Structures are given as structure tokens and as C-alpha cells.
Structure 1
Amino acid sequence: QRVALARALVLRPPVLLLDEPFASVDVSSRQDLRDLLPSLVQGYQGSVVLVSHDPEDVQALATNILAFG
């Protein structure tokens, strides 16, 4: 997951879409990725859209939240 995020950021797309980026990792790795993601996108000039069903992911990473359902 870390490599995939880094590859996506290298391309500098105007919008980075993250659809359940932590869904396939264990609990420990999930927390590591939650801690790592803000520093990875810190200098990123585009928008990041994160889709997650995990409220902890949303609370840890989001600056704006749009909830459906």
C-alpha cells in the first residue's frame, strides 16, 4: 500500500482518489499507514478524496467530511 501511494503521488495528478486504501491490511499496518499518509500528502498540491467505511480512518485523516447513507 505504501508503494502504491508513493507511485500515485509521484505522478502529481490533480486529484488523488483513495478508495478504501487500508481495507486489505492488518490492524498494525493500518495504523502505520494512517500515520504515514498525512506526511506523504503534505506537499501535494492536488485534492485527495478518501472513501472509507471506517470512521477511525475518516476522523484521523479528513479535513472535510461528506457522509452518505
Structure 2
Amino acid sequence: MSTSQGFIKTVMVLLESTSGSGHCIVGFRPRLSTNRKEKIAFDPLVQQNVLYRELRKIRSLKKAES
């Protein structure tokens, strides 16, 4: 298989805080996942653990060559 023909396995996504602070973090999920990514993490703007929800896809990541 040539380097130009790789299967995309993972997607990098932007996660936004549901607290309304506008804080965002980056996460990863499988490309074929039917669910949108959700994660509980610390929001430094409100000083609490809050739910982050997937806002949009940033880029696709190719499978590592072995």
C-alpha cells in the first residue's frame, strides 16, 4: 500500500464547554463512530468540571505506517 492510500481511522474534533464560557478543547474520536463526542473536563474560566460537546471536525488523521 502506498503512502498516498491510507485509511483514515481517527478524526480530531473541537469540543466546546456547555457552561456558556466559550472555552474549547481538542479531542479525538473514531471516524466511523455514530455518536458525537462528549467529555467531562475542567473549565478554567468557570473553575468547575463541565460537560464538553463536539462542535465540529478539525481534521482527519491517517493510520500510522508500520
User: Aligning the two structures, in what range does the TM-score lie when normalised by the shorter sequence?
Assistant: under 0.3
User: Given the two structures, how large is their TM-score scaled by the length of structure 1?
Assistant: 0.24
In our comparison, the structure showing a higher alpha carbon Rg is 2
User: Given the two structures, how large is their TM-score scaled by the length of structure 2?
Assistant: 0.24
